[in-house]
Structure 1
Amino acid sequence: MSVSTTGTRTVVRAGVGTRLFVWGLFPVLGAGAGVLLSLAPGWATRLPDWVHALPMMPGAEQIALLAGLQGVVLTSILAAVGLAAGLLLALTAHGEMVAVEVSPRGAVLTSSERREEYAREDIGAVFVDGHDLVLLDTRTAELGRWRTDHPERRLREAFVAHGHPWNEGDPYADEFRRWADGMPELDGHAQSLLRSRRTALKEKDAEDAAELREELAAVGILVREEGHRQYWRRARPCVEGTKGEHGNENGFLSVDGGDTDQGGAHGTR
């Protein structure tokens, strides 16, 4: 991991060593797995389901043809398939690497497929939730959620150094309630989204679960899960008659701990 700091900004990103490790290790492991697989008797019937799901994996007919091969030809083909799988995994891992740039003006988070800027006046709280860096806005709604493997200590130092409201965990964790289908506090639309998300969690469809989390956030419902159990809370309501973060008349409640104290972090509520 690499951390660079100037007088006005701090950037936390994966270092050159990490990138070389990913691009060097995964392809080698993939090719090695292909070689070992070619030496195992009856290998074609022992492939786990996740291997069949890989994009570059041959179909059932092609695997049946490969099963009839032997020796160097089989080893070379399976090594090439393993190498391709390793390259794909490396490409995926590289795409998920996130650079976090923090300054007194706000934060910029960037990956190979996404870039988001967050103005300092819009940020009400920052914390790490598992492997996710989470930013809440000034009415406690989710402003951004990014999967990152950067050490929490490095992220804390970056945000605290530039006066951002860092928290040790979700400051509103005690407001989450377990969701039960049909509970009267939620309308039909939110219930439908939570039911769909429950299905996605059971089917281990992380992409669909993440999209449904965003749809719930758009209607002011924040959600988290423990296994298949979902917990929810509402974002703070707007305060009428005061200016909001974008200069309109829909203001927001301020979040406790909006200024960084001398200790550099706020405790969990």
Structure 2
Amino acid sequence: MSRAEQATNRPTVVRDGAVAHVLLWTCFPLLGAAAGWVLSMVPGWLAALPEWVHALPMVPGREQVDLLAGLDGPVLTAVLSAVGLGAGALLALLSYGDMVVVEVGDGGVRITRGGKGPEIGRDRVGTVFLDGKDLVVLGPDTAEAARERTDHGAGRLRAAFEAHGYRWRDGDPHADEFQRWVDGMPGLEQHAQAVLRARRTALESGDADDCAELRGELARLGVVVREEGKRQYWRPVRRGAVGEG
């Protein structure tokens, strides 16, 4: 096997670059330290904190706050700046749980967030495209095999998929098949209608996790759904389809 063939067989990974990590570990800690410094210049605010604030996770209790409130000058500034620095570093660490990594190989695709995500076998990948900021993988039957929000650029993603022979499109090839959902409209069974009603409620309340879970339930019913604002649009899965040429 030639080096070129070996390079092709090796998975292509699209992830956040070094610049993103540097910014993450620079901006959050510095902003936290700056916030601590600013707060140290405002007298009396620590003692005025309501009781419910002390019950929040990672917030010092009343005794610790009273101790800090008794400090002043450079000591208080140093303490609050250090606390802000630590809080910023913690936020930077937690941000890794929201990072998306796309691994594209000859045998399949894996899209993970915070290290978690299923692997999609090559036989389950028909067409790949970006829907706004959502990376969408359609199966050969036009059902959604995966949908994940990402900040990775279209150029990097397209190059990764095309390097391994996957079909990339600049937009949803089935966009004209969607129709706006109206409660009780014909063409949908009652179960799907009920799920769409529940998903409408989740959209109105901003419950992203519930929306994603109900999207999966609709997929099992053979329905692909997308939204524009609070409006839902749907299309049926093409059973027996083999994808686009």
TM-score relative to the length of structure 2: 0.79
Aligned match for 2:241, one of 224, 230, 253: 253
1:149 deviation in Å?
1.3
Distance, in Å, in 1 between the alignment partners of 2:70 and 2:194 is 51
Match of 2:142, SS state, is coil
Match of 2:104 in 1: 102
TM-score relative to the length of structure 1: 0.73
Match of 2:118 in 1: 116
Match of 2:9, SS state, is coil
Match of 2:138, SS state, is strand
Larger Rg: 2
Distance, in Å, in 2 between the alignment partners of 1:180 and 1:58 is 50
Aligned residue type for 1:182: G
What does 1:224-239 align with in structure 2 at a 5 Å threshold? Answer: 224-237=226-239
1:41 deviation in Å?
6.8
Match of 1:210 in 2: 212
Distance, in Å, in 1 between the alignment partners of 2:43 and 2:188 is 56
Mind listing any 5+ residue stretches in structure 2 that lack a counterpart? 1-5
1:184 deviation in Å?
3.0
Q: Number of aligned pairs?
A: 235
Match of 1:211, SS state, is helix
Match of 1:139 in 2: 141
Task: Write 1 or 2 for the structure with the bigger share of helix.
Answer: 2
Note closer, same or farther for the CA distance 1:191–1:78 as it changes in structure 2 (3 Å cut). Answer: farther
Distance, in Å, in 2 between the alignment partners of 1:198 and 1:67 is 47
Distance, in Å, in 1 between the alignment partners of 2:116 and 2:160 is 21
- What is the CA deviation profile of residues 131-178 of structure 1, one whole-angstrom value per residue up to 9, with x for unaligned ones? 221101011111011222111101001111211010111111111111
Mind listing any 5+ residue stretches in structure 1 that lack a counterpart? 238-251, 258-269
Moved more, 158-167 or 90-99: 90-99
| Residues 56 and 81 in structure 1, CA contact (< 8 A), matched pair in contact too | no
Distance, in Å, in 2 between the alignment partners of 1:171 and 1:57 is 50
Aligned match for 1:163, one of 152, 162, 165: 165
Match of 2:126, SS state, is strand
